[in-house]
Structure 1
Amino acid sequence: MPRQTTKPDAAAAKPNLAGEVFARLRDMAIRYELKPGERLNEVELAERLGVSRTPVREALYRLAQDGFLVESGRGYSRRPLDVKETLDLYEARSAVEAECVRLVALRGTDKALDDVEKFLESSIKTPSNAPAAKLVELDEGFHERIARAANNAELLRMLTSLNERIRFIRWISMETVGRDNTQAEHRRILAALRTRDASAAEQMIRGHITKRTDQIVEAITTGLARIYLGPAIVNERLKI
């Protein structure tokens, strides 16, 4: 009896393709390769990515649900880079992270805090003149590990989503302002969590995030200039 060969399951392959298309378009949205206010054309995006329109349509719908896009006629456009909206996102991030540190102080395990400290000590070895994207990645890593230590999956999901939506602005801010005080602030937040001082940890995390909001207007102005210079120039200057 001839041996039967197993063909790839088309139904199983489709979710993988849909996920890849979504990840690519989300990355394009985060980097503002999709320009603010730009109306998106499914056919052009499908051709650009070498796929059919179906996974593109599904990805655009998901990106709209995640806050990257807004409805525009019968399609979508990239959400504008807006000062008020960015401030709202930072305010939401502050609220989420304040609750995370409160929960960590109350119920976080010593092992979870050890993991945060291990990551922090490792990240400190990265030089301050490293690419902005790398420094932001490390900063997000610290905050998201604290969220994991809070042991609340929904808070972690919200924080991850907020980080994605403000990542471009944080790249710009990190490049222009740097991270001189960031590591010291991280150490103080961790120390407060070690002593289970919820009030101090919450006050520190809010102050830590509020400092960044002071640079939002400048970062957006710089960011818009770079967006319209073209993605290649933006990526080269941010080293992303």
Structure 2
Amino acid sequence: MTKRVSSVDRVYETLRDMAINFDFKPGERINESALTSELGASRTPLREALNRLVAEGFLTLAKGQGFFCRSLEPDQILELYQARCAIETEAIIRGIVSASDDAIADLYAYLEESEKVYFTCTDLPELVQMDEEFHLRLAALSGNGELVRLLGNLNDRIRYVRLINLRQIRERHHDNHTDNSSLSAHRTIVDAVKNRDTAAAVKALRSHIERRSEETVELVRLAYSQLYVPSF
């Protein structure tokens, strides 16, 4: 049993990374036979892994047709951003009420440490990971593990588009090479949390997330071009 579970988990993690990065093109039918050969996996663990990814929103299943990569459409990306905003807003409201001063201080310390790397880092995936980590830590102040888990899933599902967005931002600021708008927004959010100012925290958080969601149409267009002419 342990060996079987390990096999399923291994296949799942590999396929999940492929789905996150759109190694399967949007709407593409998943070739199960090719994957069993490529991953050295039998059909049963492969099917279990694919079904898990359907449940998590990375793939779709069409009756009688098989598994397909999720689509990449502006409306769907916008819905994911809206869901992220709702989850993070609920989490920050709860966190302001229940988080200890020490927990908030730890978040502030993480932000200060990440700033030192952010200004010089040129690795886009690492920068996105740093931003996701901040938001997960912020949500964790709520003490609600389900909110954090849901946020993690949403982060994974919009990560590719966020990479495109970050590259676009860096190109716009190529003369200065770094863009500190995200960090400035993060500091505004944390300051409001530290002051236990719910209204200010929610306003800053919503503004920060919605600023990116407003660009979904252009970002999806760029994402499609990136999928076929990759540059990072």
With normalisation by structure 1, the TM-score equals: 0.89
How far the C-alpha of 1:72 sits from its partner, in A, is 2.5
Point out the more displaced range, 73-82 or 187-196.
73-82
**1:133, CA displacement in angstroms?**
0.7
SS of equivalent residue, structure 1 residue 125: helix
2:79 paired residue number: 88
Shift in Å, 1:128: 5.0
1:108 to 70, 79, 99: 99
Cα distance in 2, alignment partners of residues 90 and 182 from structure 1: 16
The answer for the alignment partner of 2:141 in structure 1 is 149
Does residue 137 of the first structure (1) align with residue 135 of the second (2)?
no
Contact 1:39 1:72 in 2 (8 A): no
The answer for the alignment partner of 1:123 in structure 2 is 114
Could you list the runs of 5+ residues in structure 1 that have no partner in the other structure? 1-10
Aligned-pair CA distance for 1:159: 0.5
Q: Which residue of 2 aligns with 1:173?
A: 165
TM-score (norm: length of structure 2): 0.92
* Consecutive aligned runs of 4 or more in structure 1 exceeding 6 Å deviation: none
Q: Does 1:197 align with 2:180?
A: no
Q: RMSD of the TM alignment (CA)?
A: 1.2
When residues 128 and 89 of structure 1 are mapped into structure 2, their CA distance, relative to the original with a 3 A threshold, is farther
Alignment of 1:202-213 (within 5 A): 202-213=202-213
1:160 and 2:152 equivalent?
A: yes
The percentage of aligned residue pairs carrying the same residue is 37
Q: What amino acid maps onto 2:187 in structure 1?
A: R
Measure the CA separation in 2 of the matches of 1:223 and 1:128.
25
Q: 2:60 aligns with which of 70, 87, 100?
A: 70
- How many Å separate the matches in 2 of 1:90 and 1:97? 10
Aligned-pair CA distance for 1:228: 2.2
For 2:121 and 2:95, how far apart are their aligned partners in 1?
Answer: 32
Superposed displacement of residue 129, structure 1: 4.8
Question: Alpha-carbon deviation of 1:214?
Answer: 2.4
Give 1:34's match in structure 2, choosing from 16, 21, 24. 24
Q: How many residue pairs end up in the alignment?
A: 222
Question: Match for 2:16: what amino acid?
Answer: R
Contact in 2 for aligned 1:89/1:162 (Cα 8 Å): yes
The structure 1 residue matched to 2:45, chosen from 51, 55, 63, is: 55
AA partner of residue 197 (structure 1): D
1:34-69: CA deviations, max 9, x gaps?
111111121111111111111111111000000111
Residues 3-36 of structure 1 show CA distances to partners (whole Å, capped at 9, x for unaligned) of: xxxxxxxx21221221111111010001000111
Cα deviation, 1:143-201, whole Å, max 9, x if unaligned, reads 00011111001111110111010000001101111442010110110010011011110
Cα deviation code 1:103-133 (max 9, x no counterpart) = 1111111121122112111110113552111
Q: Is the CA contact 1:128–1:180 (under 8 Å) kept in the aligned structure 2?
A: no
Unpaired runs of 5+ in structure 2? 171-178
- C-alpha offsets along residues 189-225 of structure 1, whole Å, 9 cap, x if unaligned? 0010011011110111000000101222222111111
The 1-side partners of 2:109 and 2:45 are apart by 40
Structure 2 CA distance for aligned equivalents of residues 225 and 49 of structure 1: 28
